[in-house]
Structure 1
Amino acid sequence: MAGSDTDKGSGEWYYCLKHKRVEEGMVCPSSSRLGPYPSEADAARALEISRERNEAWDEDPRWQ
């Protein structure tokens, strides 16, 4: 994994698609993560949030 200990305590949370877990700071490469999120709880919901946003965009007439 890329990243360093300086990423810890950054206040930014990510969901790692490769490891299927929440990580604080930019631990894994950007191609493997969703975020940043303001809290660990929000990052834990990353897949759900993404699904909700996709559904909303699918219903937005500006994207048709």
Structure 2
Amino acid sequence: MTRDPEPDPGWYYNTRTHEVEHGDLSRSVDRLGPYPDEATARRALEIARGRTEAADRADRDWDGG
């Protein structure tokens, strides 16, 4: 198994600027990601919302309601 000496830094969505970034350009506290490509990073808020809704449903199911 060989390691890529220059792995892709990934794509991020910056929650402060609402911009998509390639690599570590901003503070990590302001970023969602990494995502595999720019198009997916542009959907970061939609993806996060869906994951939150799924987790909330799982919590309600676990609580019996």
TM-score by length of 1: 0.78
1:6-49 deviation digits (Å, cap 9, x = unpaired): xxx83500000111010000100100000000010000000000
Q: Is the 8 A contact 1:35 1:43 kept in 2?
A: yes
* C-alpha distance in 1 between matches for 2:9 and 2:26: 16
Equivalent of 1:53 in 51, 58, 61: 51
Flag the structure with larger Rg.
Answer: 2
Task: Tell me the residue number matched to 1:39.
Answer: 37
Which one-letter code corresponds to 2:55 in the other structure? W
Q: Which runs of 5+ in 1 are unaligned?
A: 1-8
Equivalent of 2:15 in 8, 14, 17: 17
Give the 3-state SS of the residue equivalent to 1:26 in structure 2.
coil
Q: Which runs of 5+ in 2 are unaligned?
A: 1-6
* C-alpha distance in 2 between matches for 1:24 and 1:10: 9
